[in-house]
Amino acid sequence: MNPAPTNLYIVPTPIGNLEDMTFRAVRILKEVNVILAEDTRTTSKLLHHYGIENKTLAHHQFNEHKTLEKIIDMLLKGETFALVTDAGTPGISDPGFLLIRACIRENLKVECLPGATAFVPALVSSGIACDHFVFEGFLPHKKGRHTRLTFLAEEERTIVLYESPHRLVKSLQQMTDYFGEKRNACVCRELTKVFEEIARGTLKELAEWFNSRPVKGEIVIVVEGKK
């Protein structure tokens, strides 16, 4: 018996270095009918690099509710789609969940390819225990932030967070207040890119370090759990 054909492929894309694509990912992007992209301009650069000529449609957090029904209808009619984001694995603090859930409800086959994501190399290279960890994504900006930090202060597993450059120092300072000055952490910035930086130390040391210099790029924070 032949396996059911895949309707939707979840395709990770490089978080910086364009060489971090798998052979399979390139093949899938060439073979599907449509590529759903978070930003078609960003994705076009990747497609051009690998000589991929295929149709792209925008699918992002601002339109995913509106486009969902149309995409599902096309999939039910037999078209195959690949979902990509600007960088990393779709659904990990990026669009993807709503579409994947809708496909499952319609008994459409979803297949996720292994590939690039920022938090795994950050966790492994941090030097902090990675046998047990919790991925938090982005902390709440305002509402619920105090509650979440209070909860995480008691977390015994390693904590992995995403953060934006302009909130990095504030977050490190707040975690110093909630978790304690001596809690070890690691800040990974611009992973796989030319100006990659991995800074290790206590939360207080890292807050002081990044407060003294301009901060740019994608950021992952790894914090050891409560001992």
The parent domain of residue 169 ranges over: 119-223
pLDDT beyond 60 at 67: yes
Using 50, 70 and 90 to split pLDDT, how confident is the model at 2? low
Predicted confidence (pLDDT) per residue in 121-179, tens digit: 999 999 999 999 999 999 999 899 999 999 999 999 999 999 999 999 999 999 999 99
Domain CATH code at residue 65: 3.40.1010.10
Does residue 3 form part of some domain? no
pLDDT beyond 80 at 184: yes
Burial of 194 (0-12, 13-18, 19+ CB in 10 A): exposed
Q: Which of 62, 92, 112 is the last residue of a domain?
A: 112
Pair 107, 123 in one domain: no
Pair 102, 13 in one domain: yes
Does residue 2 form part of some domain? no
Instruction: Provide the mean pLDDT of the chain.
Output: 95
Predicted confidence (pLDDT) per residue in 24-61, tens digit: 999 999 999 999 999 999 999 999 999 999 999 999 88
Does residue 1 form part of some domain? no
Pair 89, 136 in one domain: no
Q: Which of 57, 60, 135, 43 is nearest to 96 (CA)?
A: 60
* Number of compact structural domains in the chain: 2
Cβ atoms within 10 Å, residue 179:
23
Angle 168-179/203-211 helices, nearest 10 degrees?
160
Does residue 148 form part of some domain? yes
Pair 129, 89 in one domain: no
Q: What is the mean pLDDT of residues 79-108?
A: 95
Strand order in the sheet with 219-223: 133-138, 158-163, 219-223, 184-189, 197-202
